[in-house]
Structure 1
Amino acid sequence: MKAFFEGIQWLFENILFVPHNFLRELELESWFVANIINWIFMIICTVAMVYWILQLKLHRDNNEEYQDTTAHSFLK
């Protein structure tokens, strides 16, 4: 049973955590390059949020939004 858990340890330390170790070492050289993945995710989330807000505004301007408080049966 001990060998099974040591195998899981080896898998994570030597294979699955290699990208994380690379980014950890890269962070000492350049913080911006090491965090490029975070910057990309922040840009994607910002674009998605702006798109969502514009779609909500579009539906509100066209009076397509149903705002009745009894829209759900459990609120009656």
Structure 2
Amino acid sequence: MKDFFYGIQDLFVNGLFLPFDKLRALELESWFAANSVSWIFMLIGFVAFIYWMMQLAKFNANNEEDKSVTAHSYL
């Protein structure tokens, strides 16, 4: 069973996290290049936020939401 967990460790340390080690080596040369994965995730989050806001504006413009006091039981 010990070899199973060492195999998982080897997969992650020597395989899946290897690109992150290469990015960490770039930190001395360029901060933006070293944090490129974070920038990509921030861009994806920003695009998702804009899409969400556009969908909310669309539903609000169509007056599809029930805004009465009794619309939700917890109000």
Common fold: TM-score over 0.5 = yes
Greater relative contact order, per chain length (Cα 8 Å cut-off, separation 6+)? 2
By how many angstroms is 1:8 displaced? 3.3
Q: Show CA shifts across 1:3-59 (max 9, x none).
A: 444333333322222112111111122110111221122122112111211211121
RMSD: 2.3
| Structure 2: 5+ residue stretches without partners | none
| TM-score, normalised with respect to structure 1 | 0.69
Q: Give the corresponding residue for 2:8.
A: 8
Moved more, 18-27 or 3-12: 3-12
| Structure 1: 5+ residue stretches without partners | none
Identical amino acids, percent of aligned pairs: 57
| TM-score, normalised with respect to structure 2 | 0.70
